[in-house]
């Protein structure tokens, strides 16, 4: 069971736009550690603070196969994006649901690291998808919102049915 409870779609709290982190202090560092532990345990490759009902611009990502390349991004901002790739995505807030989403093939993201130092990462492939997916969460968007209305309704119905079965 994850350390922090993860909000599940269509919870309205997933729609909240995250506020910038004003000060990186011990509370933010603890939140980042707890989020990373939650992400690894879930298991997932990315987690936005929005998903754990903390509405600050903080994400953790580890898209490595070895699960030892944790990125903590505070106040991430996409500076550049180009190309197009269509990948199957899933989400810890939408368990058991996977679908194809079009995203930029390459992104450049500026952020602050856990020590408050400005950093830039250029990413392609899975890391680029993950960065865009998690930054969407900070803007109050879940990946299923990139899908057709019909697919969104089907997903909501499937998740409601799952909730009734497990209740």
Q: Are 79 and 108 in contact (CB under 8 A)?
A: yes
pLDDT on residue 1? 46
Across the chain, which has 167 residues, the per-10-residue mean pLDDT values are 85 97 97 97 96 98 95 98 96 95 98 98 97 98 94 90 79
pLDDT on residue 59? 98
pLDDT on residue 140? 98
Q: Of 22, 41, 134, 145, which residue is the catalytic one? A: 134
- Domains of the chain with bracketed CATH: 12-166 (3.90.45.10)
Q: H or E segment at 48?
A: strand 46-48
pLDDT on residue 2? 58
77 classed as catalytic: no
């Amino acid at each position: 069971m994850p350390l922090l409870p993860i909000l599940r779609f269509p919870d309205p709290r997933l729609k909240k736009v995250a506020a910038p982190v004003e000060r990186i202090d011990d509370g933010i560092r603890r939140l980042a550690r707890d989020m990373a532990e939650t992400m690894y345990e879930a298991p997932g490759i990315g987690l936005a603070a929005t998903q754990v009902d903390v509405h600050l611009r903080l994400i953790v990502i580890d898209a490595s196969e070895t699960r030892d390349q944790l990125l903590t991004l505070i106040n991430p901002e996409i500076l550049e994006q180009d190309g197009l790739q269509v990948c199957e995505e899933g989400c810890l807030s939408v368990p058991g649901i996977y679908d194809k989403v079009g995203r930029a093939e390459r992104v450049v993201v500026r952020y602050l690291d856990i020590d408050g130092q400005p950093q830039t990462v250029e990413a392609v492939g899975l890391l680029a998808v993950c960065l865009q997916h998690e930054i969407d969460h900070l803007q109050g968007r879940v990946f299923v919102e990139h899908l057709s209305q019909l697919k969104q309704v089907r997903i909501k119905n499937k998740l409601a049915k799952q909730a009734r079965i497990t209740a």
